[in-house]
Amino acid sequence: MQRRTFLAAMVSAPTLAALLAACGDDSVVSPGTSPGTSPDTSTTTVEPSGIPHPTGADEVVLRYGYEGGFVAPGTLFVSIPTLMITGDGRVIEPGATTAIYPGALLPSMFERSIDQAGIEALLSAAQKAGMLASPPDYQLPDGIGIADAPDTVLTINANNAQYLHRAYALGMADDPSSTPARVALSDFLGTLGNLADVVGAEHLGESAPLVAKQYRFQAMVVDPATYTEPAPTVVPWPASTGVELKAVTAEFGTCATIDAAAVGDLFSSANQLTFFEEAGVAYQLSVVAVLPGDAACTL
């Protein structure tokens, strides 16, 4: 099935007629915690000047992307952020995606460096845009209903707090009928499309393909005989990985984490019609690199 997608990075589809109530899940909590929990400051460093922010390799300073919407579960699982800035100075972004089918099994991701002055400039821009404050009401104006839409989610960890901005169907309503809060959020996210303009090109390194240290994945049982044009490729699942695919079936909502070294180029050389066989059963995998802030897998 197709769904309506948003902004320049997503593909459009017809709008469904049904009304969907707008939602606004906005909060300010301490980094790495949920509302109502105690802050965990064990790995957060407060800078001596400027805006305090996390500095760890596994910590997120800023993450912007999409959540939810009317898509297949496997699509949600491999969803990657439109932009991520990590505490140790990495910019992680999606790479170009071709329209050729089958495409690569792994979502294309690139990374480059950003120095601390660049991070400070980004946080300063966010503060000027009102993003380092308690999020306002991002609900759609009364009377506007849009179905099948994802939430646009911007998360910023700074000032020993987490600022979570969540807006349903952002970019779908025409500007004249939108709200000042939604326009402000959309405008700030628009500036992130050219990060060099925000932080200065001298604070950014060269972009290169992301080299994953770990992958997380789900598995779904498939019948290769039902696929004809193009025909799938079935390869054996290495027992040396230590993970049994039958234990990672998507039907049970489980996923597994595996070191990149354990699979070598198995995932990077596969495409969307590469199936993996274990004990006479074929599985289709949804695989993505583990990024800072990702939810832990159950296996």
What pLDDT is stored for residue 73 in this prediction?
62
Q: How far is CA 286 from CA 15, 81, 98, 140, 257, in A?
A: 27, 16, 18, 33, 12
Q: Which residue has the tokens 């004809």?
A: 228
What pLDDT is stored for residue 77 in this prediction?
83
**Tell me: the pLDDT tens digits for 86-96?**
999 999 999 98
The residues pairing with 287 across neighbouring beta strands, listed in sequence order, are 217
Tell me: pLDDT of 72 over 80. no
What pLDDT is stored for residue 235 in this prediction?
97
Residue environment code for 110-121, b if the CB has 16+ CB neighbours within 10 A, otherwise e? ebbebeeebbbb
Tell me: pLDDT of 201 over 90. yes
Q: Are 181 and 138 in contact (CB under 8 A)?
A: yes
Q: How far is CA 299 from CA 106, 199, 221, 255, 293, in A?
A: 20, 39, 18, 6, 17
Mean predicted lDDT score pLDDT of the chain: 83
Mean pLDDT, residues 128-156 taken together: 90
Q: How far is CA 291 from CA 28, 84, 141, 197, 231, in A?
A: 22, 9, 35, 25, 32
What pLDDT is stored for residue 176 in this prediction?
55
Mean pLDDT, residues 176-194 taken together: 89
Tell me: pLDDT of 41 over 70. no
CA-CA distance, 208 to 106, in Å (whole number)? 16
**Tell me: the pLDDT tens digits for 235-259?**
999 999 999 999 998 766 789 999 9
Tell me: pLDDT of 79 over 50. yes
Global pTM exceeds 0.85:
no
Q: Which of 36-50, 81-95, 153-167, 196-210 has the lowest mean pLDDT?
A: 36-50
CA-CA distance, 163 to 154, in Å (whole number)? 8
Q: Which of 33-42, 54-63, 178-187 has the lowest mean pLDDT?
A: 33-42
Q: Which of 21-25, 54-58, 113-117 has the lowest mean pLDDT?
A: 21-25
How many Cα atoms occupy the beta-carbon half-sphere of 53 within 13 Å?
31
Which of these, 137, 138, 141, 168, lies nearest to 4 by C-alpha position? 168
Mean pLDDT, residues 120-127 taken together: 96
More confident residue, 38 or 126: 126
What pLDDT is stored for residue 48 in this prediction?
35
Tell me: pLDDT of 160 over 60. yes
Tell me: pLDDT of 107 over 50. yes
Mean pLDDT, residues 112-128 taken together: 96
29 pLDDT band, cuts 50/70/90, is: low
| Burial grade of 82 (CB within 10 A; 0-12, 13-18, 19 or more) | buried
